[in-house]
Amino acid sequence: MSAVHKPNSAFDGIAQIGACGIFLLQILAAVPRSLRYFRETVRQVWFVGAMSLVIIMISGLFVGMVLGLQLYDVLSRFGATAASGTVVAFALYRELGPVVTALLFAGRAGTSITAEIGLMRATDQLDAMEMMAVDPLAYVVAPRFLAGIAAMPLLACLFNALAILGAHGVCVSWLGMDNGTFWSNMTSSIDVWKDVMSGVWKSAAFGAVVTLIATFQGYTTAPTSEGVAYATTRTVVFSSIVTLALDFVMTAFLM
């Protein structure tokens, strides 16, 4: 019989959401104390950000290539291939960049955060910190939370940049679209504050949500191998659902 408590009713689900909300308040309260561990926050930015670069950049390149190919094909039916660059940029800056980056971030960084904190829980490392009068929320959780918020917009920007390069490669280098048309239509249509920054705000919010879920799942995991595995899975599932739902809400407010 499993020792892991799995939420199996609506009541359990609501209780989990409430517990996660309280956990968020505890993290926010711990943020001022965590500033004395600034080095740890920088280390976590490197860990969740720099270490995610490869998957984000490769994914961005291919997403952009696919997007360029599909849009060029569809727009050519209406004689509007000149708008390919513009549509690619709109789609990436407003939606695909932040959302796909968040989903990849949940799979790459979220799972590692959950597994790391979960194993610290299972091996009494968090209790040992408490016994040494070191607050694990300030030393372990808050730096990861701040790192997620800082790293996600940067990763999303890189994702967008690589995706636009991928689309440019397909549309201009492969399919023969005019290079000047691709760039000039894009730059004349995209508004930095409305289009680019809305994606940046979104990705910061997604970074907060994904790291909140990842740290919560790790911190509250059952101290068993099955418990850590289950918590890691929940991080990906819940992060993905919440990211997509939050995306809809933020889009409605930012448009």
Partner 1 sequence: MPTMSANPTRPTIASPGDGALIRVRGLRTVLNGKTIFDGVDLDIPRGGITAIMGPSGTGKTTLMRHITGQLAPDAGEIIVDGRDVARIGREELFGLREKIGYLFQNSALLTDYSVFENVAFPLRQHLKLPEELVRNIVLTKLQAVGLRGAAELMPSELSGGMMRRVALARAIVRDPMMIIYDEPFVGLDPIALNQILKLIRTLNETLGITSILVAHELAAVRRVADHIYLLAAGRIAAHGAPDDLARGETPWTRQFFSGEADGPVPFHYPAPDYAAQLGLATPASARPAESKA
Binding residues for partner 1, rule: CB under 8 A, are: 119, 123-125, 127-128, 130-135
Nearest-approach distance from CB 62 to partner 1, in angstroms: 34
d(CA 185, CA 172) in angstroms, rounded, equals 13
Nearest-approach distance from CB 126 to partner 1, in angstroms: 9
Nearest-approach distance from CB 128 to partner 1, in angstroms: 4
Q: Which is nearer to partner 1, 6 or 36 (CB)?
A: 36
The residue behind tokens 């940046």 is 200
d(CA 169, CA 53) in angstroms, rounded, equals 21
Q: Which is nearer to partner 1, 31 or 197 (CB)?
A: 31
Q: Which is nearer to partner 1, 123 or 187 (CB)?
A: 123
d(CA 73, CA 189) in angstroms, rounded, equals 21
Nearest-approach distance from CB 127 to partner 1, in angstroms: 7
Q: Which is nearer to partner 1, 139 or 206 (CB)?
A: 139
Are the C-beta atoms of residues 26 and 142 closer than 8 Å to each other?
Answer: no
Nearest-approach distance from CB 122 to partner 1, in angstroms: 10
Torsion of CA 43, 46, 51, 56, to 10 degrees: 150
Q: In terms of Cα–Cα distance, which of 144, 157, 143 is closest to 202?
A: 157
Q: Which is nearer to partner 1, 53 or 119 (CB)?
A: 119
Q: In terms of Cα–Cα distance, which of 153, 143, 161 is closest to 45?
A: 143
Nearest-approach distance from CB 222 to partner 1, in angstroms: 13
d(CA 59, CA 65) in angstroms, rounded, equals 10
Are the C-beta atoms of residues 31 and 132 closer than 8 Å to each other?
Answer: no
Nearest-approach distance from CB 217 to partner 1, in angstroms: 19
Half-sphere exposure of 155 (CA within 13 A, CB side): 36
Q: Which is nearer to partner 1, 95 or 135 (CB)?
A: 135
Helix (H) or strand (E) holding 222: none
Q: Which is nearer to partner 1, 133 or 255 (CB)?
A: 133
Are the C-beta atoms of residues 73 and 88 closer than 8 Å to each other?
Answer: no
